[in-house]
Chain A
Amino acid sequence: MNQVIISAVISLGAIGGAAAIILYFVAQKFKVIEDPRIDEVDEILPAANCGGCGYAGCRAFAEAIVKTGDLDNLYCPVGGNEMMKQIAPIIGVEAKEKEPEVAVVRCNGTRQYAPEKVEYDGPQSCAFAHSLFAGKSGCPNGCLGLDDCVESCDFDAMYMDEETGLPVIIEDNCVACGACVDTCPRDIIELRPKGKKDKRVFISCVNTEKGAVSRKHCSVSCIGCGQCVTACPFDAISMENNLAYIHPEKCKLCRLCVPICPTNAIVEANFPEMSDKLIEKAKENYTKQKEKKKGAGKAGEEKAKAKKATSTDKKTSASSEKKTQDKSISTSDAEKKEPRNDSEQTSKQKDKSSPDNPENK
């Protein structure tokens, strides 16, 4: 009996020992030498694997950081500046501060403002609806409301407001990974700097149709009237394809454009309620800026002036729909015929006038 036990112990021990030796050599042979700093960086990273940095996951991002050895184009929006500061000493560079960003939904076409005209029957996903038709309200740029973005969010930072039919971003949870921005087939969601004390002003519309057309399906769309462009004392607003855009790096959060917008398409976040005084001030500012910019126009060439005039006409008559449309056609035709110089010159004039503006204020 004893013999059996002993032989069993010995043979099993021998097999175990042999396996251990083989395993040791195999492990030595196939050892993968990896930079230990990758592990260190990976430890610090949030392990959310959201892809917000542009890499497949946190590990891949850590590898990229160690491999390139600098943090110029690498940034983890989830961890933010704090975390990048921790990572920087590991690879021996300075961390670059980046303004924290947050996702904003640039569409205000709620069920109330942009009534649904048709019903959609098909897979409940924006990607499909987008390829099929312009949307329930008819707006070819507006939110389709089928929550592709909400589903793409890994951080529970979005939900669908059942009443408005629009997605809502929970700012505290948003890490600005950009997943929703990539998902949205209509490029409605944008990453914007969080701003001072989380205050932001932005145009909540991406509709590029002419005002008269977009007004037909949405009462809060940007109609491209250009009043905000005129009103802005900092030249932070530009107009392209009938759509205004507030450049966050130039915007000083003065709120003077907000009450000017005839369709309330400019949205402000985390501000106190607008006082009557401020509204008055905005109106005053608008007339002041208008005259000033007109004056700057007079100094320019005659052609440029003519063009300005038509465009201001266009602004004022935005409410009367049909006229605007006809005029806008003629202006666009005129633009095509005119040589390029004009527009360049006008923009130069604008540039010239811009540095003065802050002083005025």
Chain B
Amino acid sequence: MGMTTKKRKSQSSAKSFLICGDEELVQEYGALFSQSEADVYIWHNRKPQLPKRKNFIYTRTLSRVPKKIIAAFELSNLSYERKIGNIIKIENHCAKESLIISSSVTQTVTALTAHLQYPHRIIGLGAFPSLLQNDLVELCRGPFTQNDALKTVGDIFFDFKKEVSLVDDRVGMVMPRILCCLINEATFALQEEVASTEGIDTAMKLGTNYPQGPVEWGEKIGFDHVLSIMDALYFDTGEERYRPSPLLRKLAAGADFASRFLP
């Protein structure tokens, strides 16, 4: 299932990218693209804080974006309506050769495909806050995704020194699913007063060598993002094991000030 990336020059003459979606992800992917020379159009409602770069073009409307771009990164996990709205607008605006790389952790690519006229060019992306600081990105294909499209995405990430792994088209993909289930379980434990926030984080780092404690990690990711995955998994499977804890729901509601009311 592994997909290794090989060095290959981009075939496309279009040199631009588009980034839009959840603020945290636009920020992270924007930071990634600050290493690139390509024009990067950042389509936003609220201007994200990014390093100053000449190749960044901020826009509130798609009309300023060239029709022919290499790829649009659609990075919404939190709102289905916004995601579908973005995808339809991108589809209507961009040439049919332009790829649509859409975060597919809360929605399958298959579900997104249903909204597209040209579904050969959509690729699912495991876009989830905090994961881009590491070396691997998960991708998945929809029912009509072309191999060339997948290859191009692999090359884009290869240029950023990222490996890719092709996984099946399932909500949560691999890492976001495992990570959010851990964080959810940690919030259940917190809620049941098994230990303090600090105790849980310390225990998981020292007892199992986790790179970060699950509660501090959740705070860094944003509990609203964690909840979006758990809700998606729970909806997808209807299984008790994916039920978000009431504390997680509360932390998600106050994600911006979660540290104030973490137990």
Do A and B truly interact? no
